[in-house]
A and B are shown apart, each in its own frame.
Chain A
């Protein structure tokens, strides 16, 4: 199994509070991704990183920011959480660009509930 740890695994918070989800990998993979999974939408890309301090937006990036100060850590921040951000968040990593195989290794997910 790929060494990917997400924390926290579960969090309940209130609207308007900041939230940070952490993804930690021990595989030394260059690429890291944050997805959210919602019923009727599948998995949607929020942000991704292609190296330390190199990040870019995905298809649902509004309301989210990310940071990657070390190869092994990729943080997802909700500056002011809203109920629409209630979701299950998955971190994923890949050794090379998606164009090689499209294969990603996923973490176990972080369930966030915004009340």
Chain B
């Protein structure tokens, strides 16, 4: 049962425009949400996170929005740049004592068109 879902396997966006990547989750016990970015033949790298007690976190061109009532998370990249072309994984952390668990979504491949 996939607790973290990324329903769009791929997304293409024009350079300079806004990229919006979406993620849905089913477990209301998740405490943190994270986005990782992955280039081909490399390991994922941490991009940005948000605590479940917040609804927005911003870091430069990247902003993550959390809608707890809808159990929905989104990553906004603006303006989009060619170097943003990568696979983006949404992840959720459950802080159950002694059993912290990070659950990943299936990923969305973002392609920025020059």
- Residues of A at under 8 Å CB distance from B? 4, 40-45, 90, 92, 97-99, 101-109
B89 interfacial contact with A, CB 8 Å? yes
Asked whether A102 lies within 8 Å of B32 as measured between CB atoms, the reply is yes
Leading 6 A-B pairs by shortest Cβ distance: A106-B43, A98-B100, A102-B93, A42-B104, A43-B104, A99-B95
Asked whether B41 lies within 8 Å of A43 as measured between CB atoms, the reply is no
Which residue in A41, A43, A97, A101 is a CB contact (below 8 Å) of B44? A43
A109: B residues at CB distance < 8 A: 41-43
Asked whether B93 lies within 8 Å of A98 as measured between CB atoms, the reply is yes
Shortest distance from the beta carbon of A6 to any chain B beta carbon, whole Å: 8
Q: In terms of DSSP, what is the predominant structure of the interface of chain A?
A: mixed
Complex Cα–Cα for A97 and B97 (A): 11
Asked whether A42 lies within 8 Å of B105 as measured between CB atoms, the reply is yes
How many A-B contacts are there with CB distance less than 8 Å? 55
Number of B interface residues at 8 Å Cβ cutoff, please give it: 23
Shortest distance from the beta carbon of B39 to any chain A beta carbon, whole Å: 10
Complex Cα–Cα for A97 and B102 (A): 11
Asked whether A45 lies within 8 Å of B102 as measured between CB atoms, the reply is yes
Tell me the nearest residue of chain A to B31, going by C-beta: A99
Asked whether A42 lies within 8 Å of B107 as measured between CB atoms, the reply is yes
Asked whether B46 lies within 8 Å of A104 as measured between CB atoms, the reply is yes
Asked whether B46 lies within 8 Å of A108 as measured between CB atoms, the reply is no
Complex Cα–Cα for A102 and B95 (A): 9
Shortest distance from the beta carbon of B59 to any chain A beta carbon, whole Å: 13
B34 interfacial contact with A, CB 8 Å? yes
Asked whether B102 lies within 8 Å of A98 as measured between CB atoms, the reply is yes
With A42-B89, A42-B107, A43-B89 as known contacts, state yes or no: A102 contacts B102, CB within 8 Å.
yes
